[in-house]
Amino acid sequence: MQQRTLGPFSVSAIGLGCMNLSHAYGAPVSAEQGERVLLAALDAGVTLFDTATLYGFGANETLVGRVMKQHRSRFTLASKCGMQGVDVNGDGKLVRVIDGRPATLRQTCEDSLRRLQTDVIDLYYLHRWDKNVPIEDSVGALADLVRAGKIRSIGLSEVSATTLRKAHAVHPIAAVQTEYSLWTRNPEIAVLDACRELGAAFVAFSPVARGFLCGDLRDVSTLDAKDIRRAMPRFAPEAYAANLQLLDGYQQVARDVGCTPAQLALAWLLHRGEHVIPIPGTTSVEHLHDDLGAVDVTLDAATMQRLDGLINQHTVVGARYNAQNASEVDTEAFAG
């Protein structure tokens, strides 16, 4: 497996986003299937595993901790704080809450360490910037955790270049994690270059466009009732029907290159810069191995230009988030 630099770590060029195993895309897979995917990734050379307190309201960290604790020295462990499930009404139902207060982040870290069954988290992200708390205060709390030996490096998720620079002035930021793919180009506005300038890795989540670029999802009515894509404007029936028109040309490029559609999406990201590290998620060992094959795909300048012209912010229909979710992120957005 090819390697890339992430803060003080050398990690596989493609990591594993663990969210899908417990969260967001319908019913979680069985514990046994989750274990199969995690261990298959490790055996295939993946050395960056990405989880979060939010995923399954702790269930994903618990799964990763149980399965991976005996292999802890073989991989870089990333998790996230600042967004978690809270029993707001006292009825036992957890509600997603963004909370970047220092005391909350310290407690969340202790909870994550316990679930992950480890003494230290290699890369700890602020999952969302709590806009009620200065970014300097939240990052300052994470810097205290570095000094205490609880975490080794700090990351940010879904932030602008301006916020990144403010945070970096408090403590070096090892990585920024944001959605990035052919159909989500927001990082190209500013933060992708800011990461390169500051020496931070750019970790791309949803690198196959939440499954769109795999080419298999043709009918959004088949999505699980609890699938988060149902609330995303790009997956609304009319918008998705328009976006499907992009797939024929995209799949032709994949055929011309001699790779699968998922591999093409990931290879495009790998060619966007040496500091870019995609973290696709999957519940299938077969899909996992398909994804990892992207490291062997070479794209020439003409193919990159062809892809850029085919799927971009001008050709994709619909915003990536609904109004509520868009208000929770700090990422730059294109006008309109």
What are the C-alpha distances in Å from 272 to residues 151, 204, 327?
Answer: 29, 11, 28
- DSSP state, 294? G
Q: Residue 42, class by beta-carbon neighbours within 10 Å (0-12 exposed, 13-18 middle, 19+ buried)?
A: middle
Assess contact for 90 and 58: CB atoms under 8 A.
no
Residue 3, number of CB atoms within 10 A of its CB: 12
Distance CA 288, CA 302 (A): 28
Q: Which two tokens stand for residue 78?
A: 């990333």
Assess contact for 38 and 16: CB atoms under 8 A.
yes
Give yes or no: 321 in active site: no
Q: Which two tokens stand for residue 233?
A: 């404007």
Residue of 55, 124, 180, 240 with catalytic role: 55
Show which residues are catalytic: 55
